[in-house]
Amino acid sequence: MDIAIAGGHGKIALLLSSLLSADGHRVRGLVRNADHGDDLRAVGAEPVVLDLEKADDAEVAEAIAGADAVVFAAGAGPGSTAERKLTLDRDGAILLADAAVQAGVRRYLIVSAIGTDSFDPESDDVFQIYLRAKSEADAAVRERDLDWTIVRPGGLKDEPGTGSVSAAPELPRGDIPRADVAAVLAELLRSGGAVRKQFDLTTGSTPIAEAVAAL
């Protein structure tokens, strides 16, 4: 397969790139900063310099042309402004979806977050804006004519993966290693499973392949 990952220098994206390239797939990592290229190449990904906050859908479509799937794993990150939560976490995800439609790339995976639909629409708190951005991005992706899957992980941890998860339309809040999120994304791409499905994801007792197959 040929997979393009937006937010290619993020922690989940780098872990996913390593898994996919080890399986022999071509991986393109979309990054804003050209200086991150060596980090991507170290995990077997090809860096493609593209700023999702400045590009239009035609430019993004050109960058992902010929891909079998795209993954939105970008995010403004901790400490970023409320404005960037909207311009990247929300608008960037929608831009990638529109570009995928334009480029004829049907498979679209998006890394969202657990509990996003519970945001307070009246609040100007940055975290509430983040939840709103994710929720609105997910809603827009669901409206596109794509083979989408929305993955909503719990609190992300930089710990070794366990290889076992809980995956269901709704789960209590919990944590999960980024390595297990990456492994779930890789399994979704390999299996083609969970098309047009949205699910929460936390650490659990079900092996990843079984959890994905049961969705």
Q: How confident is the model at residue 76 (pLDDT cuts 50, 70, 90)?
A: confident
Per-residue pLDDT, averaged over 19-30, amounts to 98
The structure tokens listed for 206 are: 């079900």
Per-residue pLDDT, averaged over 35-51, amounts to 97
* Residue type (1 letter), 208: I
Catalytic residue (one of 72, 108, 119, 130): 130
pLDDT at 144: 97
In angstroms, rounded to a whole number, what is the distance separating the alpha carbons of residues 183 and 189? 10
Residue 185 sits in a domain whose CATH number is: 3.40.50.720
What 3-state class would DSSP assign to 156? Answer: strand
Q: How many domains does the chain have?
A: 1
Lowest mean pLDDT among 26-35, 66-75, 97-106, 117-126: 117-126
In angstroms, rounded to a whole number, what is the distance separating the alpha carbons of residues 75 and 80? 9
| Residue range of the domain that includes 170 | 2-213
Task: Please say if the pLDDT value at position 56 is more than 90.
Answer: yes
Per-residue pLDDT, averaged over 141-167, amounts to 97
pLDDT at 77: 82
Closest CA to 130 of 88, 101, 100, 97: 88
Instruction: Give, in order, the Cα–Cα distances in Å from 213 to each of 126, 189, 195, 208.
Output: 36, 12, 11, 9
- Active site annotation includes 130: yes
Task: Please say if the pLDDT value at position 80 is more than 90.
Answer: no
